[in-house]
Amino acid sequence: MERITKFISIMGLAATAVLASCGNKQASGTDTAPAADTVVRETSATDTAPLQAAPAAEDTMPSAAAEPVKEDTSAADIALIKSLYSKCVFGGPNAGYLKKVCTAKVLSRLAAANEYDDGGYAAWEFRSGAQDGDGPSKVNSVTPEGDGWYKVSMLDMGIKCTKRLRVTDGKISDYR
């Protein structure tokens, strides 16, 4: 029993020493910690390397500007998708606008899907596929899914449906 008590005491002291060395104020019994720019390093009598200050916090933190760029990109992509639906998909044929906002790969797929007129694009590929409906046609939401993909939830002639569109470099680059 005495050995267990000694072991527990030693472990407690070791834990206190570790906590104190990590800057834990309660464990060390001191209320002062090294300044943020202080470098703590063990040295020997033969160590000749100069101490260098730690880099400033702003030098080591990720750039705050990087994150808003993603948000701006998502916002621009969402605006592009909503514009596609209002100007082409629900707003009638607009081949010029499709050429402006879709990649060559998507335009090729849309042209191949249009068996009704030469040179036209099957903008209905972005719709539900329903033939008739009595309700409105509108985009309810566009939600980012990652890797440039967006889920478009809509009403197509009153019929609820979803499509997935991918935006790359400001253009519709794929759809499902």
Encode pLDDT of 119-136 as tens digits: 899 999 999 998 888 899
Residue 121: CB partners within 8 Å, gap ≥ 6?
93, 95, 98, 107, 110, 111, 114
pTM over 0.85: no
Q: Tell me: pLDDT of 56 over 70.
A: no
pLDDT single digits (tens) 84-100: 999 999 988 899 999 99
Q: How confident is the model at residue 42 (pLDDT cuts 50, 70, 90)?
A: very low
Query: Which single residue is written with the structure tokens 């007129």?
Result: 117
State the pLDDT at residue 104. Answer: 98
Burial class, 106, CB count within 10 angstroms (exposed 0-12 / middle 13-18 / buried 19+): buried
Pick the residue with more confidence: 94 or 69? 94
Give the integer Cα–Cα distance in Å for 40 and 3.
Answer: 36
